[in-house]
Structure 1
């Protein structure tokens, strides 16, 4: 069974008057466990549509999406909601934390939505937060956190259900340079250590050094950027030896 995320010849059409516009045009990508991929491109290029389809928030007009070898393109709305909850971790532009929940409960509410919160869930959530440098902030509320701490909480929340893939939408948009590097470095570390497939959509080219591969989206088409990204550089260096 193929692991990670595979999107094959994904096309998404929108009606514009009597015309049909392709927001995505035969997009294909494969992201393996432990692989951190960036997608860059101008506004209006199709990045948001791409991420919505990868995250089972939107259905493609054509093409196939697979998570760990399972086709999700034909699932019902209820089945897709379960896929989003159990198999996909989201990190958004703003951390989207619940104002009246402390840091620990930001994670446990995800477990509560999935079912009953067990003792081991609390232990895992605490350990996860400690690993991300938030051990002293378990009882703190969002208004008491810095921007970087909020995003670290969002990273932990994305990992709490042990998802197959992490999708990050402009996770550094509201952060200064130092905090941005800290957050993306943490995402990269967690992706590698926990062997998660991950895609980050970003305008911030300072963050590409943490990614294994970099793709560019333009006019609904996706292309691999040669020579950019850690894995691409290593492959090029090996081929020159």
Structure 2
């Protein structure tokens, strides 16, 4: 089954003699082409949940499946390959490498692995052009605006053609106009490329771009609203 499925996922930590439950029995599904938002106060478990879906943290119990693959059964090497090939991460800071051009940000991993093809090079240019960066290919990160840097981060997340996109506060460092531009772009790319995507955000103005909104508090996830007016 494609997309993201969580089945009774929990995460517990030891703090001294007590056990803290950061995520409690979370179950939900995100289908290809859907952008789902998770909102809630700081410390509610949102980032912990995203880290488990992104194979950065292992659940204490429950099952995380991506495209039918049970992520919780993978060993360290398989997890590294899985993160590289199946997941596109977009973070609140664009995390661009300061000494690489816009174009080189995308092709770096393939170049380092010796697997860079002509098709890869062409796809990088096409993707950046599609995201409005066709005239910025040779620019360095310090020559870009905040919105442009986030668009490069979106292109980088899409470049390996992953199954899922995980965005953690992607608008935190942007002004209102650029924030709308970035989330609208994520939503349209998710739909066009049939990716299952989850966005953790504090910015409620961005929720109109999402297909479903969940609210998280004290590790418990609940449906906040269903968004009927979906962005096409």
Q: Return the TM-score normalized by structure 1.
A: 0.93
Contact persistence 2:13–2:20 (CA under 8 A): yes
Looking at structure 1, the residues matched to 39 and 152 of structure 2 have their Cα atoms a distance apart, in angstroms, of: 24
**2:60 matched to which residue of 1?**
61
**1:163 matched to which residue of 2?**
162
Counterparts in 2 of 1:144-183, with a 5 A limit? 144-183=143-182
How far does residue 228 in structure 1 lie from its aligned partner after superposition?
4.5
Contact persistence 1:110–1:157 (CA under 8 A): no
Counterparts in 2 of 1:1-241, with a 5 A limit? 2-113=1-112, 115-228=114-227, 230=229
Contact persistence 1:110–1:160 (CA under 8 A): no
Q: 1:200 to 1:229 in 2, by over 3 A?
A: farther
1:160-190 CA deviation, whole Å, 9 max, x = no partner? 0100000000000000000000000000010
Contact persistence 2:211–2:226 (CA under 8 A): no
Structure 2: runs of 5+ lacking an equivalent: none
Looking at structure 2, the residues matched to 113 and 19 of structure 1 have their Cα atoms a distance apart, in angstroms, of: 45
Q: 1:196 to 1:113 in 2, by over 3 A?
A: farther
1:187-221 CA deviation, whole Å, 9 max, x = no partner? 00100000000000000000000000000010001
Contact persistence 1:210–1:229 (CA under 8 A): no
Q: How many residues align?
A: 230
Contact persistence 1:209–1:229 (CA under 8 A): no
Contact persistence 1:213–1:230 (CA under 8 A): no
RMSD, aligned α-carbons: 1.1
Q: Helix, strand or coil for the counterpart of 1:34?
A: coil
Q: Helix, strand or coil for the counterpart of 2:72?
A: coil
**1:239 matched to which residue of 2?**
none
How far does residue 116 in structure 1 lie from its aligned partner after superposition?
1.1
Q: Helix, strand or coil for the counterpart of 1:105?
A: helix
Structure 1 runs of 4+ aligned residues shifted over 4 Å read none
Q: Return the TM-score normalized by structure 2.
A: 0.97
Structure 1: runs of 5+ lacking an equivalent: 232-241
